[in-house]
């Protein structure tokens, strides 16, 4: 980060950075992202506090039910609404969590490589309706890559549900994806729209996109 900041400063940019908790921006997941913001120095007035642009959000926390509660029994022929097909072992693990009303799988039911002392309690875990989801990654269709089991059903999240948790509206399409793996990567690696919308709205409010200050020398 220091090298990037120095390089941007040398190129004529004013730089600030912060770690943002997206749940405070209304995103229904426990996602944290480091944001480094650089703006051409000629566009930044002395009265603009870039720290305020990256200040923590004030949106109320939204839980998983708010995000995907209406999709529990969604059926369609689209792969977007189709969960991945689990192995027999993972099906049994998910059924155990449902039958025992548990959210963390005990070590004895995990694969041998995930037993013993570890801190990966979210692996093979079940999500909770009344809490935000864990960070959505490209592995949201795999029980062994995080807490990605549906809160009520014996399956992992569908791409539609993962996209909702990221904040994508239902009208958004992922037509660029040719394979299911590509679809998972596009959704999991995306920047939640609420983050981009918040930053752009704050920059507009701060008049960062106004006319450049011609009294200052332009960076070379």
Q: What is the pLDDT of residues 180-203, one digit of tens each?
A: 999 999 999 998 998 888 888 877
Mean pLDDT of 48-68: 79
* Confidence tier at 32 by pLDDT (50, 70, 90): confident
Q: What predicted TM-score, i.e. pTM, was given to this entire model?
A: 0.85
Pair 49, 100 in one domain: no
pLDDT digits over 126-170, tens only?
999 999 999 999 999 999 999 999 999 999 999 999 999 999 999
Pair 43, 112 in one domain: no
Pair 94, 184 in one domain: yes
Pair 173, 127 in one domain: yes
Mean pLDDT of 114-118: 76
Contact 41, 219 (CB under 8 A): yes
Pair 105, 180 in one domain: yes
Pair 109, 156 in one domain: yes
Pair 173, 198 in one domain: no
Highest mean pLDDT among 31-40, 41-50, 130-139: 130-139
**Residue with the larger pLDDT of the pair 157 and 119:** 157
Q: Is residue 104 part of a domain?
A: yes
Q: Is residue 210 part of a domain?
A: no
Pair 38, 70 in one domain: no
Structural domain harbouring 181: 64-188
Closest CA to 82 of 181, 187, 149, 158: 158
**Complete DSSP assignment for 79-140:** GGG------HHHHHHHHHHHHTT-SS--GGGS-GGG-SS-S-TTTT-B--TTSPBPPP-TTT
Pair 29, 96 in one domain: no
- Indicate the length of the chain as a whole number: 220
For residue 210, what pLDDT is reported? 58
Between 28-32, 74-78, 143-147, the lowest mean confidence (pLDDT) is in 74-78
For residue 93, what pLDDT is reported? 96
Q: Is residue 123 part of a domain?
A: yes
Q: Is residue 218 part of a domain?
A: no
Between 23-27, 66-70, 125-129, the lowest mean confidence (pLDDT) is in 23-27
Pair 119, 158 in one domain: yes
Averaged pLDDT score across all residues of the chain: 86
Pair 36, 135 in one domain: no
Domain count within the chain: 2
For residue 146, what pLDDT is reported? 92
Q: Is residue 219 part of a domain?
A: no
* Confidence tier at 62 by pLDDT (50, 70, 90): very high
């Amino acid at each position: 980060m220091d090298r990037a900041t120095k390089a941007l400063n040398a190129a004529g940019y004013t730089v600030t950075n912060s770690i943002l908790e997206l749940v405070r921006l209304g995103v229904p997941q426990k996602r944290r992202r480091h944001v480094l913001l650089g703006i051409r120095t000629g566009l930044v007035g002395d009265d603009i506090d870039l720290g305020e642009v990256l200040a923590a959000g004030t949106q109320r926390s939204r839980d998983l039910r708010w995000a995907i509660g209406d999709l529990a029994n969604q059926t369609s022929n689209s792969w977007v609404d189709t969960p991945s097909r689990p192995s027999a072992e993972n099906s049994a693990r998910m059924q155990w969590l449902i039958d025992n009303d548990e959210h963390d799988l005990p070590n004895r039911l995990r694969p041998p490589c995930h037993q013993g002392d570890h801190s990966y309690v979210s692996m093979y875990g079940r999500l909770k309706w009344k809490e935000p989801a864990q960070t959505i990654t490209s592995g949201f269709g795999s029980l062994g890559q995080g807490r990605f089991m549906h809160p009520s059903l014996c399956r992992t999240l569908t791409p539609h549900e993962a996209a909702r948790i990221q904040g994508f509206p239902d009208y958004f399409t992922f037509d660029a994806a040719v394979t299911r793996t590509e679809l998972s990567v596009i959704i999991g690696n995306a920047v939640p729209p609420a983050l981009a919308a918040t930053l752009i709205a704050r920059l507009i409010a701060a008049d960062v996109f106004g006319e450049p200050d011609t009294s200052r020398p332009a960076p070379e």
